Structure 1
């Protein structure tokens, strides 16, 4: 036994970074004991030797904190009442100790986020208030925004702001401000993930194979994008009726004179009025004009276009959309803008123009599959107008299905919906019996009108 421990000690000595100034034989022995227990998932047995090292040699090895979190997670999961509260509080203390003793392994924003989630998930046991939970996340936001990016943490941060409003402890404007803060942060993180994912998609499209490391990164970025999309919808739901036109219009009317030259306030007000469909009120036009006069940009031209469309000045509106697209210089934002413009034109039935913008969006953000689905939907909607006879018209659905499947190939978050959509379109296409009767299996059908494409009839 002594010989085995000696060999393990030598191996650990060579493989881990030890603070030699605090080197201690007892700490080394206990480090190896609790490390072996953790690796075997014997967390209860690991607890005592781990605590000895933690208390005597807090800077001895990072495993004290990395493995310590696993040990305390086990204790929290398998305890209740006062015992559970004690373990939760100890994990929060451990996170602080890890940040202090191994600052190269921890980020302040992540630590504060993790502490906030511990408080939120164990609110009853700890007896903490919404204010205390909010304040912890607020520290993460204010003290280390860069590393405060956990999807759940961002949601809880905003959610507790709404709860505080309902308790009468936070004004409505502050809730809106926090919604914008969290939404902006989500947007930033989505942009970062998308840009990295674009590089991997472009590599694949160039015929190159991703390395195993790149495959892991692709999965990582895809998962984060899925989570950000989910919490984006969740914070909208949480905001709910607070951001209806009945609340927004009087609030912005009251503050307009104060903030009519504040570009950030105007942008947020216009965006919320637009997203909540409060655009029929004259205040919306007033806000857009002030925003465009204060800080003309791609955003302002886009919103001016929305007003012109409402006034049935479609040609002028389309010109403003073009200005918006031309003014945007950020590649990611330009891609998102092109998608939004495509959406407006699609609703107006201007399919050819919409497709052009959707394709621009795909060039700029190739890992975003939504434009493919929207293009496919326009193809399907045009089936009756783009064929010489019934067979050719229904053949357009094959073309739509091909486009829909592209969404799943470039965007893993859309694989399921892309396949379901494509299958739905194929269900409207000619049957095998139709193909047999027509006698054109394997032939290419030209699709006219604005689509201007072709599709091969499946073989029987």
Structure 2
């Protein structure tokens, strides 16, 4: 009889437990609907009810919950802000605990919310950034997160009690810039943001990076890192900006190009040879870099660099490089402006008659007008250029008409101008 009574009690307790279970799928739908309807009071009510009982059911639940908790931070009064921030931080931790293989970047998200809210107990923001960077530095897909992380590292470096060496500063700086460069290419829609991050990060160390210190760092660490592609890449980037004519830059760039030839390693060698006044080799390496690149914008920039180098010594090849730059990025007006100036500056050199000179200026005008078409900011420049042009006389127009309204220009220009 006692056993039967115990069994009845057990069944009653089970029924009570099961009656308290939550339909997590249905609650998740309700939470999503509440967010869609901007009913955050209801959303908070559902989240409070489910954040423990549905914690392991679905990642979607966390993504929805994050939206709610971010909303709470936005609306929190100043004296409640810290509580709201730490609640979101705790939720990120819970997400990672229950879904350790998620790709949401919660360590970075947690660090950012701590950094932006100026709430950082025991350096939590830096520690979270640093842990994420050590785990996978290329997960820093948010340019602002990279800047925040490096700025916190720089603060620690400035505080001498942390005993961070100059070599460690340069190492971290180089690593962070390698992430900026790689992710800028991977996410072209964020190119402007990554470029801004690059400038902001450089501004933090501009007073620290003397040529002498950078060269000393590279020379002292080269022997132990000459097979380390990551170190070679980041150090080549560092030297390229601060000591491009130093022998160690040539050594690092040559070693990098020998064990991992890429468009970037060839570009570094082009830059080194340009700075050490070996233009022939510089041109060869820049051409090699452009041919290796699969990024059209990068190709265009390299060809534009080539055009600048060649403009004083070989205008024909400079024109070829500009044409290739335009082919790869026809929406950059600067390329047309440069080509136009090449033409106009050669009117006397390539024009043997008044008609030919005016035809060259006409070609320059047509070219600079293309710059204004693709980038309206160049319209004023194009208009100003057009006002300076001297129109063909009636006698010259008559002569041009007899040749089918065309003037053939030889020289390095080698174009036919239509009137």
- Greater C-alpha Rg: 2
- Residue in structure 2 matching 1:373, options 334, 350, 355: 334
Quickly say closer, same or farther: Cα 1:24–1:240, change in 2 above 3 A.
Answer: same
Q: CA deviation at 1:120?
A: 0.9
What secondary structure, in the 3-state scheme, does the structure 2 residue paired with 1:107 have?
A: coil
Report what 1:401 is aligned to.
Answer: 368
Q: CA deviation at 1:58?
A: 2.8
Report what 1:118 is aligned to.
Answer: 113
What secondary structure, in the 3-state scheme, does the structure 2 residue paired with 1:55 have?
A: coil
Q: CA deviation at 1:115?
A: 0.8
What secondary structure, in the 3-state scheme, does the structure 1 residue paired with 2:168 have?
A: helix
Matches of 2:214 and 2:19, distance apart in 1: 60
- Residue in structure 2 matching 1:176, options 153, 170, 174: 170
Give the TM-score taking structure 1 as reference length: 0.68
Give the alignment's Cα RMSD to 1 decimal. 4.1
Quickly say closer, same or farther: Cα 1:456–1:172, change in 2 above 3 A.
Answer: farther
Report what 1:148 is aligned to.
Answer: 140
What secondary structure, in the 3-state scheme, does the structure 2 residue paired with 1:241 have?
A: coil
1:107 aligned to 2:107?
A: no
C-alpha contact 2:245 2:276 (8 A) present in aligned 1 = no
Q: CA deviation at 1:107?
A: 0.9
C-alpha contact 2:322 2:339 (8 A) present in aligned 1 = no
Report what 1:248 is aligned to.
Answer: 214
Report what 1:273 is aligned to.
Answer: 239
The unaligned stretches of length 5 or more in structure 2 are: 1-17
Matches of 1:432 and 1:183, distance apart in 2: 47
Give the TM-score taking structure 2 as reference length: 0.74
Report what 1:56 is aligned to.
Answer: 53
Report what 1:425 is aligned to.
Answer: 382
C-alpha contact 1:155 1:234 (8 A) present in aligned 2 = yes
What secondary structure, in the 3-state scheme, does the structure 2 residue paired with 1:331 have?
A: coil
Report what 2:74 is aligned to.
Answer: 77
Describe how 1:307-318 pairs up with structure 2 within 5 A.
Answer: 307-310=272-275, 312-318=277-283
Q: CA deviation at 1:122?
A: 1.5
Report what 1:331 is aligned to.
Answer: 294
Report what 1:67 is aligned to.
Answer: 64
Matches of 1:146 and 1:379, distance apart in 2: 41
Matches of 1:133 and 1:254, distance apart in 2: 32
Matches of 1:374 and 1:320, distance apart in 2: 21
Quickly say closer, same or farther: Cα 1:39–1:449, change in 2 above 3 A.
Answer: same
Q: CA deviation at 1:151?
A: 1.8
Output one character per residue of 1:49-90: Cα deviation in whole Å (capped at 9) or x when no partner: 321122333345656433322221121112244521121111
Output one character per residue of 1:100-151: Cα deviation in whole Å (capped at 9) or x when no partner: 55678x415x21111111111112x34453xx32321222223244543122
User: How many equivalent residue pairs?
Assistant: 387
Q: CA deviation at 1:339?
A: 3.2
Output one character per residue of 1:309-365: Cα deviation in whole Å (capped at 9) or x when no partner: 455443354345445556x3x533x973663254144144244324434544566xx
Q: CA deviation at 1:255?
A: 3.5
Output one character per residue of 1:339-397: Cα deviation in whole Å (capped at 9) or x when no partner: 3254144144244324434544566xx46845x63353232244131365575454344
Report what 1:234 is aligned to.
Answer: 200
Q: Which moved more, 1:282-291 or 1:91-100?
A: 282-291
Matches of 1:70 and 1:425, distance apart in 2: 50
The unaligned stretches of length 5 or more in structure 1 are: 1-20, 195-221, 409-417
What secondary structure, in the 3-state scheme, does the structure 1 residue paired with 2:63 have?
A: helix
Report what 1:356 is aligned to.
Answer: 320
Matches of 1:227 and 1:290, distance apart in 2: 31
